Structure 1
Amino acid sequence: MTDHHHDHGDPSHSHEAEERWKHDGVRVIKGDRLDSNTAQTPGMFRQAAINHARVGAQKIWAGTVSIQANAKTGVHHHGELESVIFVVRGRARMRWGDHLEYVAEAGPGDFIYVPPYVPHQEINASPDEPLECVLVRSDNEAVVVNITDIDPVETPEEIYWVDPIHKQP
């Protein structure tokens, strides 16, 4: 049996330390308290749950994205970032490769991993239902590099997802 000795004279156990951990320790972000003050694009609605501004996160971004029926992005990659997409509802189609020659679909409960620098196109495969996902990125910076010299297999919307992240080609 271990004897746990607590020295109340130790500054690490001060009231200030307790207050710091109370407010800077584990954080719960309620689903109805997500922040839509993020880059928005036509056809998509993003909300941040975890980022630097909200919780002080240094190396990760997490939030939700809802993608309208039949919507799709242009071809892009996210630089050094790794992305994980968890499909909550709907049907996601991903195309990737130098010529978007590869394709995979994911449904509710499936995870999608997008490695750094992989050219890809994100598509809501449903013609009439929204796609709802949880998105996690390996950094707080929203890096998007649009690729204009690849013709996407599935032509993006005529209204491009244009914002500080997704520039019009």
Structure 2
Amino acid sequence: MADHEHDHSHDEPHAHDHHHGHADEPRWKHDGVRVVTGDKLDSNTAQTPGMFRQAAINHARVGAQKIWAGTVSIQPNAKTGVHHHGELESVIYVVRGKARMRWGERLEFVAEAGPGDFIYVPPYVPHQEINADPDNPLECVLVRSDNEAVVVNITDVDPVEAPESVYWVDPIHKHPPG
């Protein structure tokens, strides 16, 4: 509520300040709803070559205890290494672009998602995120069920299908020259 809409009749001290609302007003003003505008996202988060992550909601920024939210942009034709996020659950909302997800012990399952689609990644599921568009970045909103950035890289996967002609992007597989 904007200050000019606030009912100031409760701002003056009263002898009967035992009402819960009076004691809570300063706390709610500073510890209530928070808006983090799109131009104030924090890129001081784990980064992967070919991807750009920015935090919007986390413990450091707003005091969030059980959730993390931010954005990720994946370059055309880029993909992550195979990994999982431990016990964390993840939700990916595709804003623009074409996402391809592979998952399973040998990445034997595949699904694609486009703008307006949601992707749910359960705990401990080995998966790989791919920008399936050779020409445009993939822009997503990412929400995780905890503030801890749990990423367990899996380097010994033998994919059931030969990888697409897109390059790997992770700390082990760098962007090819050129």
Q: TM-score range by the shorter chain?
A: 0.7 to 0.9
TM-score, scaled relative to structure 2: 0.82
Matched, 1:9 2:23: no
Matched, 1:55 2:62: yes
- Once structures 1 and 2 are overlaid, which stretch shifts more, 148-157 or 130-139? 148-157
| Unaligned ranges ≥5, structure 2 | 1-9, 174-178
Q: How far, CA to CA, are the matches of 1:48 and 1:71 in structure 2?
A: 21
Matched, 1:157 2:167: yes
Q: How far, CA to CA, are the matches of 2:112 and 2:21 in structure 1?
A: 51
Supply the AA of the counterpart residue of 1:154. Answer: P
| Unaligned ranges ≥5, structure 1 | 1-5, 163-167
Residue deviations 1:25-78 (CA, integer Å, cap 9, x gap)? 011111111111111111011110000000000100000001000000111110
Residue deviations 1:93-151 (CA, integer Å, cap 9, x gap)? 00001110000000000000000000001000000100000000000001011111103
Aligned to 1:98: 105
Greater CA radius of gyration, 1 or 2? Answer: 2
RMSD over equivalenced CA pairs, Å: 1.9
Following superposition, the deviation at residue 10 of structure 1 comes to: 1.4
Q: How far, CA to CA, are the matches of 1:141 and 1:96 in structure 2?
A: 22
Supply the AA of the counterpart residue of 2:170. Answer: W
Matched, 1:80 2:90: no
Aligned to 1:165: none
Following superposition, the deviation at residue 11 of structure 1 comes to: 6.0
Matched, 1:67 2:77: no
